[in-house]
Structure 1
Amino acid sequence: MTSTVAMPVAPPATAPVAWSTVLRLPHCGRLLAATLTGRLPHGMAPVAVLLAARADGLGYVAGGVLAALYGAGVAVGQPLLGRLTDRAGQTRPFVVSVLASTALLLVLALVGAANFLLAAIITAAAGLTSPPLEAGLRALWTSIVPTPNHLRAAYALDSGSQELVYVAGPLLATVIATAADPRAALGVTALLGLAGTLLVAHAAPSRTWRPAEPRPVGTAGALHPPGIRLLLLAMTAVGAALGALNVAALASAERHEAAWLSGAVPAALSLGAIAGSALLSRHVWNAPLHTQLTISAAAFTVAWLPLQLDTPPLVLLLSAVLPGIAFGPLLATAYCCIDVLGAPGTITESFGWLISAFGIGTATGTATAGAADGSWLVPAAAAACALLFVLTLRPFLTPTTSPRTEAP
């Protein structure tokens, strides 16, 4: 599954490829920065919508529902827009979808959330039309990096840097809402998404990108290969672990009477993910892809065990870094698996389904952890389920396959 610019087949590297090397390649730094900017609404919009709802007199439940509707819209829209992108290229789907999403968020900023039904429709539609930048960038990497080892470093950079969206996004929305008002935060969210997307769409690799092979016949599309379905189930379980983390962190904060833990623990995991992704790119790992995925998933599962102990808040905070360190390499390896397992001509849709799997998993984990009173057993159990699904992938990831090294 490749783009129109074929990646040369290269022998295994003897030296790692640094993130700085990837960023110095033509287009790479600009595309990554523009994509992160265009994706900021994914981190900002739920918080801005919740704050706008509170400012308009709605309760936390109604505000939470509105924020969840945006996330649900994103989860549904990413694979659908990804399928359209695989057929029409990136330019038109990106531009049309971002114009629609921007207009909807600006309308919400103008009318507010006092009318809950209207706000719910607008919010869900804004999420549904959010452009598939994340999947689009992963489809582009193969056309802008020269070797498979550069590609793996790019995936590690991608998986690490995306944490910035969910750390900086909520913080930026909160700061703007506090300094001005929540509606201003919605307006800035819309404009940042528009600016980032237009920068991506204007870049030469995005304008010229087309899937190299025709789509398979059938409505299943990217979900047709059984291997991709198993990988998505594994990533859904990974998302459930991360969703449960937020509730478990809140419960721990209340139990220890340390309110700062509720935000610090998820932030610690995000920092761990950046560190883990950076470590992955600094070392050459020539093991078979399934071995890499299994070791990463096993490490992710084991990393939750220290959090089961009744430890002081500071130790709990440091322990939260461990699942993050394993999560970064696990996610980057999953990206490589998409390249091997995905059906020809469905690269953007396949990555779109991966995003949806995480969204569904996160919501499921949050609900389950809530029912379990924030027990740390929930994310550990979800991680163990992810490992079980990964183990079933062995027949589909043979030792001879490697990401995007096949001739077109």
Structure 2
Amino acid sequence: MLPGDKASGEIRRAYAYTAAKLTAWKSSTLCQVGMASAIGVGRYRAVWQLPDARRLVFGGFIGRLPIGVTPIAIILAVHQAYGSYITAGIAVGTYNAGFALGAPVLGRLADRYGAPLVLWLASAAHLPVIVVLVVSISTSWSLGMVWTTALCVGLTAPPTSPAVRSAWNALTAGPGQSLRRVALSLDSVSFELCFIVAPLVVGVFGLSGRPVLALLASGTFAAIGAMLIASGRHINRARQESSAAFPRSGPSAIFTPGIPTLLVVTAALGFALGALDITLPAFSSAHVSAASAGGIATALFALSSVGSVTGALWFGTKHFTAALATQWAYTLAALTAGLVMLSVVTNIPMMMVMIVICSAPIAAVATVETSMVAAIVAPSALNEAYSWNWTITVVAVGAGQVLTGAVVEHFGSAMLGFLLAAAGPALGAVVAALPRSKLRQAEAGAQKS
């Protein structure tokens, strides 16, 4: 054999060896990815097979649609009847105030007397009050009557969201605790989908020229969802077993060690969401005509929800060993980075791509938040704890909307709106990351007990 032939043979053998190794590596990597995907899907399938899981998913989705439908319907209906956005703003503000005030009270009653009873009674009061609001708007009653009725609509809103979350915790207690993150991620997805479907529901009635009828649909959704959750046999049995192990006693859940700090971090996410409510329409108005701005803003909100849902589905399949407070700090930091990135986007097509990517941590933040509440609060106080969580979120969203609206209006810059939105989760990440915070102490104490 000639020297050149020998060298060529060695090169061919080396090439074949390298190619074989690369093929093996690719096969191994693809196998690992496939196994990870299968495990993730398997976890969601396991949650789906839990007793009453379908009832929780569908009942929770239907029962929480009013959270997105009612405020939009009030604004459109009151503006149509009275011709003033200021009047409509006051009406939706009084509704939100009633919701924020009533939620902790109904949550505490649900812990004391059982969620099913409170859901039934709240539904029985809520739907008639909705009817009164519809009549008062349709017949142009006094504004004082409209605002008072809107307040009562918020006060009587069934505590479906706290009931759903506490039910998921009850169903995944004991041997099923390994599925809790997946279950709560699925719940976050269901909740996020409400904000995609809700504007479509209102839009159907708006196109017919009768947005006030969307309020009747909202009341019907609330009643159906509450009844589905309240009538779940397995859900109620799991709740009773959980409450029997940890009987309700003592002061409000808000005084549980770690909860005040948790609510501060919760407010951070709410502030960011409120800021985005103003900033995305402002960004749209700055880049397209006034006639197209509304449609573009709606598309951006929908894409944000798509990103959030995708992030939640991925997050639910992962197993993290870090403390929940640490996970919360990381997800909040990721959200902060995403919002800062949005501040440098300069055109609509790029924003449509970036909003999906940068919104991915939103539902993951909410999932860790929900898990944290369950970790430090006794099961018999979860309804009230989750209600306080929601109350603080509503207040923080309002604060984010007002402050960001003032900043964007004064400076005429959507970029500042995104940076202001990023300030909320940035502060939350710092608080969650503090090594000796009450939050971490409460989590560590709960793990030892």
Give the TM-score of the pair, scaled to structure 2. 0.82
Q: Which shifted more, 145-154 or 179-188?
A: 179-188
Are 2:268 and 1:237 aligned? yes
1:214 to 247, 257, 260: 247
Would you say the 8 A contact 2:158–2:226 is kept in 1? yes
Q: Does 1:265 align with 2:290?
A: no
Q: 1:353 to 1:289 in 2, by over 3 A?
A: same
| Distance in structure 2 (CA, Å) of the matches to 1:280 and 1:394 | 26
Equivalent in 328, 333, 336 of residue 293 of structure 1: 328
Q: Which runs of 5 or more structure 2 residues have no equivalent in the other structure?
A: 1-37, 409-413
Q: CA deviation at 1:399?
A: 9.7
CA deviation profile, 1:94-142 (whole Å, cap 9, x unmatched): 1111111111111212232622111111111111111111111111113
Instruction: Tell me which amino acid in the other structure corresponds to 1:215.
Output: R
Describe the superposition over 1:236-263 as per-residue Cα deviations: whole angstroms up to 9, x where unpaired: 1111011001111111111112513322
Runs of 4+ in 1 over 4 A off after TM superposition: 14-17, 393-407
Q: 1:306 pairs with 317, 326, 341, which one?
A: 341
Deviation at 1:24, TM superposition (A): 2.4
Aligned positions of 1:162-177 closer than 5 A: 162-177=191-206
Matches within 5 A, 1:3-42: 15-16=39-40, 18-42=43-67
Give the structure 2 partner of residue 198 of structure 1: 227
Map 1:8-407 to 2 at 5 A. Answer: 15-16=39-40, 18-112=43-137, 114=140, 115-145=142-172, 146-179=175-208, 181-208=210-237, 209-210=239-240, 211-212=243-244, 213-218=246-251, 221-257=252-288, 259=293, 260-343=295-378, 345-373=380-408, 374=414, 375-392=417-434, 395-396=437-438
2:98 and 2:235 map into 1 onto residues whose CA distance is: 24
CA distance in structure 2 between the aligned counterparts of 1:227 and 1:256, rounded to whole angstroms: 44
CA contact 2:103–2:155 (8 Å) conserved in 1: yes
Maintained 8 Å contact 1:308/1:377: yes
1:293-313 deviations in Å (ceiling 9; x for gaps) = 121111111111211114211
Which structure 1 residue ranges, 5 or more long, are not aligned?
1-13
SS at match of 1:345: helix
Could you tell me how far 1:361 is from its partner in structure 2? Answer: 0.9
SS for the counterpart of 2:126 is helix
Distance 1:29 1:378, change over 3 A: same
Is residue 140–residue 205 contact of structure 1 (8 Å, CA) maintained in 2? no
Contact 1:292–1:333 (8 Å) recurs in 2:
yes
User: Which shows bigger deviation, 337-346 or 164-173?
Assistant: 337-346
The separation in 2 between residues aligned to 1:272 and 1:359, in whole angstroms, is 22
Q: Which moved more, 1:200-209 or 1:101-110?
A: 200-209
How far, CA to CA, are the matches of 1:394 and 1:83 in structure 2?
Answer: 30
- Give the Cα–Cα distance (whole angstroms) in 2 for the partners of residues 33 and 317 of structure 1: 29
After TM superposition, give the deviation of residue 151 of structure 1 in Å: 0.9
Shift of 1:405: 7.8
Cα offset for 1:395? 4.3
Q: How far apart are the structure 2 equivalents of 1:296 and 1:64?
A: 33
SS of alignment partner, residue 354 of structure 1? helix
Equivalent AA in structure 2 for residue 171 of structure 1: L
Question: In the alignment, residue 250 of structure 2 is paired with which amino acid?
Answer: V
Equivalent AA in structure 2 for residue 274 of structure 1: V
- State whether residues 100 and 129 of structure 1, in contact with CA within 8 Å, keep that contact through their aligned partners in structure 2: yes
1:394–1:18 distance in 2 versus 1, CA, 3 Å: farther
Contact 2:335 2:362 (8 Å CA) reproduced: yes
Where 1:192 maps in the other structure, the secondary structure is helix
- Taking a change above 3 Å as real, the CA distance of residues 399 and 57 of structure 1, as seen in their structure-2 partners, is closer
Aligned 8 A contact 1:224 1:343 in 2: no
The 3-state SS of whatever aligns with 1:131 is coil
CA distance in 1 between partners of 2:123 and 2:445 (Å): 30
Instruction: Please tell me the residue identity of whatever aligns with 1:370.
Output: G
- Name the % identity: 27
How far off its partner does 1:394 sit? Answer: 5.0
Q: Distance in 1 between matches of 2:148 and 2:355?
A: 37
- In the TM superposition, what is the alpha-carbon distance from 1:73 to its structure 2 partner? 1.6
Greater share of residues in helix: 2
Q: Deviations over 1:156-215 (max 9, x none)?
A: 111122012122112202212323612322212111211121121111134443423233
Indicate conservation of the 8 Å contact 2:192/2:363, yes or no.
Answer: no
Aligned CA distance change for structure 1 residues 57 and 284 (closer, same or farther; 3 Å):
same
TM-score normalized by the length of structure 1: 0.89
Q: Which has the higher contact order (CA 8 A, sep 6+)?
A: 1
Q: What SS does the corresponding residue of 1:304 show, helix, strand or coil?
A: helix
- Residue 82 of structure 2 aligns to a residue whose secondary structure is coil
Task: Describe the shift of the 1:406–1:207 C-alpha distance in structure 2 as closer, same or farther (beyond 3 A).
Answer: farther
